Amino acid sequence: MLSIAARSIKTSSVKTLRPLTAVRTKVTLPELPYAYEALEPYVSGEIMKIHHSKHHQAYVNGFNLAEEKLQGAFQANDLTQQLALQNALKFNGGGHINHSLFWKNLAPQSEGGGQAPKGSLLSAIEKEFGTFDNFVTQFNTAAAGVQGSGWAWLGYNKAAKRLEIATTPNQDPLLTLTPVLGIDVWEHAYYLQYKNVRPDYLKAIWQVVNWKTVAERFAKAQ
């Protein structure tokens, strides 16, 4: 038999229960771990500022809005509306996930950006691609070949225990592999500095790749 106090707690707990979807915390724009101009001359401060404060912010806002609408659709038991929101959720949610990873993939040279990988990560790259330079060439070929907007990835295939290069269109996140390095090849990532010459941007970006965070993701993925 429950005491009066216990019954009171039980009743109030039931009253305060909410659907799980209603308590999800909104996503927020992560702080850039370096100054906007810190990647110059390889990526201009102007690009970084717009890319982070406008583009990424738009994905954050878009995802939160789509989530809010989805909660309404759940509460209204409106299946059509739930399905209609899937594109917005994937596009904006993917944009948030991809960019959050991308910022940490880069670092100013004063903080190790561009310092080639070593240890087990380098060994794994050499095992799959022969040499580090071959890997960069193959990655850049894949990245340059993305039609329209998208991403190029180095990902870890857990089943095959190997690193693989992959690409995804639009803001699709990499789901078939565990992403360890992602490079944004949307025009907004380079156009102000490199115009339409994506290969020049791809050549420069390696000067500021943060291989330390790539190595950490690689270690965690295994």
Per the annotation, binding residues for Mn(2+) are: 51, 99, 184, 188
Contacts of residue 45, Cβ cutoff 8 Å, sequence gap at least 6: 35, 36, 37, 38, 39
Q: Which residue is nearest to Fe ion (CB)?
A: 184
CB-CB contact of 2 with 72 (8 Å): no
Least distance CB 131 / Fe ion (angstroms): 29
Least distance CB 149 / Fe ion (angstroms): 8
Query: Based on CB atoms, which residue is closest to Fe ion, 100 or 178?
Result: 100
Least distance CB 192 / Fe ion (angstroms): 12
Whose tokens are 């993917």? That residue is: 94
| Nearest-angstrom CA–CA distance, 104 and 214 | 9
CB-CB contact of 171 with 92 (8 Å): yes
Query: Based on CB atoms, which residue is closest to Fe ion, 67 or 184?
Result: 184
Give how far the C-alpha of residue 192 lies from the chain's centroid of Cα atoms, to the nearest Å.
22
Contacts of residue 219, Cβ cutoff 8 Å, sequence gap at least 6: 120
Query: Based on CB atoms, which residue is closest to Fe ion, 103 or 186?
Result: 186
CB-CB contact of 177 with 155 (8 Å): yes
Least distance CB 51 / Fe ion (angstroms): 6
Query: Based on CB atoms, which residue is closest to Fe ion, 55 or 69?
Result: 55
The residues that touch Fe ion, with contacts defined as CB under 5 A, are 184, 186
